[in-house]
Structure 1
Amino acid sequence: MICNEIFRRASADEEDVDDPGILSSSHLPPKQKVKWYISFNKVRLKDKDFAKWLVKENNFTLKYVFCPVTVSMKFEEGKAIADAGDTELFHSLESSLVEALPKEASEWRRSYGRAVKSVFVSASFIPFSKEILPKGGNWQLTHQPVFHVYWTECMDVDVYKMSVRDEIEAWLKTLNQHNIQDWMIVIVETYDLRKSNKLLPRTTVLDKIRSDFASKHADRCLSVINPVRSESRSAESWRGLVTRIRLLVLLAYNRTLLKFEEFIRDQRERRNELGWNFCHYFLLQEELAFVLEMLGLYDEALVQYDELDALFTQFVLNSNVGDTPAWLGTFQVPLEDWPGIVLDRNINQTHRGLIGECRASLLQFRGYLFTRQCTMLQLLSKPWELAQRCLPFLHNCVKELEILEVAAPPGAVACWLFLCSLEVLHTCGTFQEGRHVEACSLYTAGLWAYARDKLHELGALCGLLPGCDPSSQQLHTVVGLSAGMGDSREHGSYPTPTDKLKEALSSKEAFKKHYLELAELAMGTYKHIGRIRSARLVGRELAQFYLLLGERNKAAAFLSDSLKTYEEEGWRDLALRTQLELADCCDKMGDTERFVKLCAVIASAPELDMPTRISHFDKMTAALRDLSTESSNYLLVSITSLVTPLLADPPLTEPLSDCFSLGEVQVTMREGGTITKDSPVEVTVDLDSSLPCPIRGCRVDLSIEEVKTNVSTGVPAPRPQEAPAERRARRGQASQPPPSSVASTLPHRIIVDDPLRQANNPVLSRLSMVEHLDYQQDKSLSSASMASKNTKQYLRRSDSHGRYRKTSVAARSDFSYCLSAEDIVINPGRNTVTLRSKAREKGLYRLGQLSLRVASNLEFLSGTLTPRVGFEVTREPPSVTLNMGGKDLLAGLEQDMVLTVSSGSQRIEEVRGACLKLHASRGLLLQVQSSEESLCQEILVPLLQTEPFTTLSMQLRVMAELPPKRDSSVIEHKEVASHSSLMSSDRMKPRSGDWATTVLTAELPKVVLHCKQYAKCYPPRVPSQVMVQCPWLVEDRIIPLHFKPPFMSTCRLHTAQVRKFVQVVVAGLTTQMVELREPELSVMSDLDLPLMSLNPQHGQKQIAGNNMNVSFMWEVDVDAVQDTPPIKTEFSVKYSPINNVTTLSSEQLFTTYKCNFDVQDYKGSELCRSGTMCHLQLKVTRVNSGPHNSLMYEVLADQTMWAVCGRTAGVISLETVDKQNITLDVMPLIGGYLPLPGIRLSKYIPADHKSPGREYPN
């Protein structure tokens, strides 16, 4: 408030002016509500000339002379109250000032480091008087001035000295008496343009006022030019006046509020004293909130109300565990009325007066405090916070009523809560901006649901629910509740909450209308903000209401939606409760199909008690019997969820079932690990049943899908380097083909319920990481880290990508090719079911969908088995092989071979006359070992009946001719296998004797003295083969056979002076020992050249083998030949294989001891120095056990190279250990590369034992 002193004087005709003048409110603007008076004190003018001069000089034309008047200012936002008299001058000044103050914002710098606020100062004027000045203990800041201004137009120094100075002095004295330090003196100067040449006085009134009253506060005295009289000159001074008033007013408020806050703090500290009253303290702190609200600091005003709210709540909570203050007992009065709150930004003076008189009820106090908080929030444009605070406020009020034990009529509190909720919802609805609507929706959804709950509570109390008829007592309750709500405020644009509640309680139809409307609004708002769970909960309660109405179809729809959400998010208990309600609803609706599905789920729920499960199982079986008589169609129920949303949509599914769950699924493979066409296929399935009773007569089917190996299906084809089985069989490779890349990806055994095998298991996901290195400026490593290439893939929200969403039941697969098991019994718990079928054509197959059919009209379907399990059907043709059993085939010798006929994946039928025909190439002879026929080039082998994957073996004897060989190359024979249905009449060739003869033809060069040459033969190579003819091959199969020569021979001519010698060397090529006899060398030409054999006829056997050669020598009589042409010779020898080789004794077959030794320098250098002592390290290790454990070692060194220091022999024992180390000192005597000293180990024989000779260990 600003007080203004206006001094005016007027001329009068009389000496004495005794008539008072009254200035009433009629002279003021119409909005002014304060009536103030100006009394005219008696002024005695001794000199009429002085009066005339005064009127003339001051340009007064009024009839009366105005005495000093004091005017003050009061702050009220948005209101301007003019406080001038009936003079045009004062009215013009006031209106200009009131209009100019709030045009610009000012910075309010507060104490204690508080934030600087930007506020707009607006003011209204009130007259100055002692009554409006603050008195001790009166802290009503809104009704007392905080700033005072003294206005005067006196420009004459003499007039100032005569009267104005005394008035200002009295004014300031009055302010000092009330401890007021915020004042200002303004001199309004009016310039007369006609007297512009008048000399300026030496001393002005402003200088006198500053020297007399404001020597230390020069800024509080200001001179301003009257803007009415001189607008062009007054602009700058007027702007300075407005700015100075804003600044000083804020400083005044800061000083006043500091004192007020200190007083509030002191009062709050006394809250535990006797006589302290919260109601009085509430009004005191609310004054501070009022001031902050006037200044536009709505957030700080809200803080004041929040502090009061928290303080009152703490008192109530403390009273629950301690003594109750006396003032708190006033809030424990019984409730007599319960009108709702009104959020219209007006202060409820009625409730505020009741609070000041300590007669307000708890709901009235709480309602008033909450309305003030809501008003601040509306001024801050935060409607969402208003809605956010409402629900906790209502719950807190209910709790405080319980703590304080406030008595209330039944339904009174529910009415008040309902009215408050609707009022807040209506207030939030007035904000139509998009951002406000979205923000408010997060909290109004809960308010809609809360209002619906309270309306339902009132409907149950008043008998308005469906199926109830209100009694007379309930009608009286409705009348009492309506009276307690009071009359609604007049508002024609929309019905008030009170009108709505009274209408809802008036009849059952109106109640149903309002209840459904609130429920729909609550559900719609919950869905809008994405809180589907809460929406489903409201829908479930709405379903109960529809059940009471008898509308079961609508109730089933809401229950189905709730059940779907509970199952998707894993709320097992809520899902079971909903299923029980839904089953009862379907039973009453007569929907047997849905009822059967729900009963199956309920019966398999382990959370329910056993009687409930058995009861629903019996209901399911009874319903199935009824269905079988009505329709032959069967139901499709998911084995993984067994629940359908009671609509036409397919049921939902889960990887694991509540009724049946799959355990281990394994394809039974035969010994070979393959499945062939028409062979039986068995799959073992572990099925866990959660039903409480056995199910008989069930049928289990498991569909089989063929994997297409083409590009369109996306399945990779076999690798190109892997040839088909038939091609590999023709190449003589293994009969069992390796699996293709597709087959290798399909396991034959899986565990479906293994959590580690789930596809969506985050533990099994591989992170794509890269290495990140940070280097400093000097290229040194600063840090190393790992970073992900795609962070969005791993950091995305799981719940936004269908984490809880269940897939729908897969469509029924094609069961035309499936594994089946019929008439089985499914017991509770683990069941092992074996499914059987026959393999079809060659290809890759995988298991698809499992079907469990109960009776004939209920089928449980699983989803596709994951991970995929499958098997491969292969086709392996029969094969014929010849093998030697790991030995080499040798030419020129009879050897045993095995003819193996494998049936493959086919069955070989026994047909009369069917046989295998083996035809050998030239130089190769065959014979069936069990036959009496001799070796021949072609044989017939009869075929016997053979089952798939069996082998038929027969012993054969083969012999390949041994042609002359100049090297050790392999002799190749090919065998052709064919089939013949007629027996051959050809006889085999007679067998050769035990001894065979080989012939070597060589051409000797001209006999020249001292010439050393040798001759070899180069015969043409004769290939051999066996052709096999069999019934399952279109073409004859050729089997190549590779024979190695057992030996080879070379011929060389030697000269010794004048004598000539022919040497034939027979070299063994294999491990097979061959004995040679009767070597002969003959001349093939007509030249008669005598050859004298130098070979022994008897004595040592001549044996050729691996690395064993035999030499034969003949002397050529060159004297008998006159001419020396080239001579052709032929070497022949008889050979026979040696099968019995004398074996060495066991003592010579293995090494008993191992000896390592080396010479090292003392210093460990690489070279030893002559004349320097070195170490001879000897290490003896036992490799194999033997009867002798003591050894003697001897060092055998060349005396010219090594000098052995110490003993040169010793005895070591290996009885308890397997390793001994000996260190000897030796010295090299000369430089250079020296051979190491020798070490000799001997079996140690003690002196008391006699031995015929020395024995050396191996």
Structure 2
Amino acid sequence: MDAPEEPLPPVIYTMENKPIVTCAGDQNLFTSIYPTLSQQLPREPMEWRRSYGRAPKMIHLESNFVQFKEELLPKEGNKALLTFPFLHIYWTECCDTEVYKATVKDDLTKWQNVLKAYSSVDWLIVVVENDAKKKNKTNILPRASIVDKIRNDFCNKQSDRCVVLSDPLKDSSRTQESWNAFLTKLRTLLLMSFTKNLGKFEDDMRTLREKRTEPGWSFCEYFMVQVSVPPGALDCWVFLSCLEVLQRIEGCCDRAQIDSNIAHTVGLWSYATEKLKSLGYLCGLVSEKGPNSEDLNRTVDLLAGLGAERPETANTAQSPYKKLKEALSSVEAFEKHYLDLSHATIEMFTSIGRIRSAKLVGKDLAEFYMRKKSPQKAEMYLQGALKNYLAEGWALPITHTRKQLAECQKRLGQIENYLQTSSLLASDQHLTTDEREYFCREILSFASQQTDSPGHRVALPMHSFAQLRDLRFTPANAVVHVGGVLSVEITVCSQMPVPIHVEQIAIHVHFSIEKNSYRKTAEWLTKHKTANGVVNFPAEASPFPTSQSSLPALELYEMFERSPSDNSLNTTGIICKNVHMLLRRQESSTSLEASSGLALEDGAHVLRCAGVTLQPGPNTIVFRTQAREPGTYTLRQLCASLGPVWFVLPHIYPLVQYDVYSQEPQLLVEPLADSLLAGIPQKVKFTVTTGHYTVKNGDSLQLSNVDAMLILCPEENRAVIYSNTREKVSDALLRVQSSDKVTSISLPAAPTYHLIEFELEVLSLPSAPAAGGESTLLGVTEPHGKHKDTQKTGHCMATTDHKVSIDCPWSIYSTVIALTFSVPFRTTHSLLSSGTRKYVQVCVQNLSELDFQLSDSRLVDTHDSTDLRLIPLNTESEQCIHSRQAVFFVWELKWTQEPPPSLHCRFSTGFSPASEEQLSVSLKPYTYEFQVENFFTLYNVRAEISPPPGTEHCRTGSLCSLDVSITRLSDLLEVDKDEALMESDEYFSTKLMYEVVDNSSNWAVCGKSSGVISMPVTAQATHRVHMEVMPLFAGYLPLPDVRLFKYLPHHSAQSSQLDADSWIENDSLSVDKHVDDQLDSGSVKSRGSVHSAASSEHKGLPMPRLRALPPGQAFNSSAGTQVLVIPSKDDHVLEVSVT
């Protein structure tokens, strides 16, 4: 016998709609009590005894407390229960008789009057007692006095309507007892009011229903009261109403009008279809087995409730009444009417462009077919609806439709499509965890089954199973040599709700050998590959792909074609390697959820990782591979296998590649500084890249020695061996052996694809420059070197190249390297005069970035003349010359006999870097040779300006006298013997031309500004010239310049060396004036000269030439002299020249 059943516990109901309770009086008091009240009220269940013998229920009573307002009280005839206030409470904590009489009593009276006006008798007064307030009052009555007054004034016959709540915010036994009593009273009054008002509402509803046979009875009024009509009755009424309206429209409008107003009537067709579907489900007409006895009884009740058909439609064959009665009479009739209505509604929605509504009706049809066990008919409608939702991005409808489609595909036996849909649903965040786990188990269940054909695979898209987030290469630049190990670390985010054990995760790699391998050298790869090694993949913005994103990504590659003869570029372009995937025909009827025919690439290059468990969320997987063949490897596909189920990412985008190279051994020699400086030891770094060559013990570099360059090897010099990732492996002592012709550097043993680095010092040796001619170079060029920019204008350093031939052990050919050394100094010289005293100034400029220390600066005559002495004025033995600065040296020239026509000098100075480091070798001095010619002073020129007679100072606009005296300082010298020298009976003379110019435009020369004189070649011979000048400005004005030229006859042999750019007029004879480059030819002209007036008259005639005297032969003793010029008295505008 079965054990006796235990009694079931009572069912306790909760309230869906809380009854309204109003609160009047002290609102601050109620606000402080409300949190405790709202928690305590529903804590204890109450028994609700209902009318008409209905079984009692245990309920948790809850309330919606609102502030009392007169507008909330129901008016006459209002039968709404949800907005009806069932109880009214007045709150007060008054404990003072005077306050009660003054305010509280009046407020209570007004409150009571308002309730009486609306016939509301359900009320309660709550008096809150607070001990803290009592202590502050000295004249209060016993505690019951206020409560007694309220009961006497307002609760004569209902004393229970006034309750006391003692210290509600305290935690004490007295407070708890007070709360329990108050809550019991509140629950009792609230339940009594609710039961009373609900009973009155039901009585009114019954009374109204019993009057349905009386004339003028309104169903609408009754319907607003009795919303609980029998199931299906409302659907019948809506169906009949819709069809009647449509029938009336068809009766009064022609077909053209109906078709043009489909947008306004299609809603009625859709509503009628929806209600007919609801009736079919309710009456069991859609189930596979047909209606049962309960469904038939319900159908009979609905048909009986329809009553008799109205007389005006009784004779109509297709009246709405007959259609409904026929549709509910049998399964076949219902299917016919429902399909007709559905198809008509879909056509109407489609014709007006409301595709979404048409698909929604199609989903109802699909659900109907699924209930009728016809999934093959339902699939088309579900696929159409899903396609529309995917295109428009409706997430929740997509999820719901996919669930229906998965059930349809499962019944049809479409395993691959079902698995794909299940994977999408398992990763759908809009489903519950239980639903997601169910679909995940469906996939795992199929994966664990043994298929008939072991080689059969089901390929599914990867995006629903997992998403590739990022990829990281080690080494970071994704470049590895042949035989090296490359690690690929990927981060995959699993979309499944449970851990998934994957048999294998594989990356299919496409191998390609670049046609133009010259671009894929190790150096090129190292410079052009990214260094961080991380590739981030874009996250999918939505779980539903659009039609555009379903296409594979472009795989574009650069293409270069070069000529095989001279390696010149012929053509260049871009190649798309997956064009066959992009240009496929797109089937318009293909389902978005159907498998896209994912193709698994089979090749020899696959990266695998077996036995991986993917946890929900991010997972890190590491692949390792050893490169065997040089080329470019492109990661094409990512696959994860679960038995016969393969999840495939068909195209990894953006493009991810790694390169494997086979490198030839290389030698690189580069200076450590930006440029090598000649004359001081400089460090040079040697880098040997072993490539595929293994450096053995005994291998060495053989450097051919250059005469003008030394190779220095400091003691304890070491070579460091690095891996190709620049990680230090080891170091070894570097051995360097030198002979007269060869320097041998022994290399330490190193494996393939490593680096050997060491440093040596080189020194470009200076030597004296060739005699004669000016030179700023440090030394003479050796046979292997070549000078560049010997005396370049500006501030660029001169350079010297040294070529060194190096024999390497891995090659039968020599490697030639060129080292360029820059001369750090630039030197210039100038001749200075003071009367007959002569000085030579040498300027040394430091053009480098280093500071140097100069020492033992000397200037010597290379001809060793005994009559000439060079006296230094700068006697310091050491000078510091900073970067980009200059140092000046000055010597005075003194001679005892006739000075030579030219002076050959050599300037030399020792130099060393200003740093405190001790040099390992002694440095040769820096030398500079130059030549000075015609430096002896032959003429002294003196000018003097006198004011007009009778005045003390010169005035602007007044003519002043200019007296110029030219004095010969020596007798006939060797430098005077030229074609300008003329011999007479008594003396020798030479022709000179003088010219007065004022480049500052302070003076206007009146009359002739130039002339030719015959100057005796005798000491103290003087020639004076007088002319007039006019000052143009006031102030201290410098004197005009007086220039001297040699006046050469036209048959001069030196005419080829003279400048013919300047012309001068002298006594109406146009003379071609030749001026040396050191003189500004334009300044020879004066304001009063007319240069071109007579040039055409003498064109073609032989004309005399002019040659400027060298700077040392003419001395202007008036240079720097200024004359005071005062302004004239009648000037209105005063212009003052300040110099």
The answer to whether TM tops 0.5 is no
Of the two, which has the highest radius of gyration? 1
Q: What TM-score, normalized by structure 1, do the two folds share?
A: 0.41
Q: What TM-score, normalized by structure 2, do the two folds share?
A: 0.45
| Greater helix share, structure number | 1
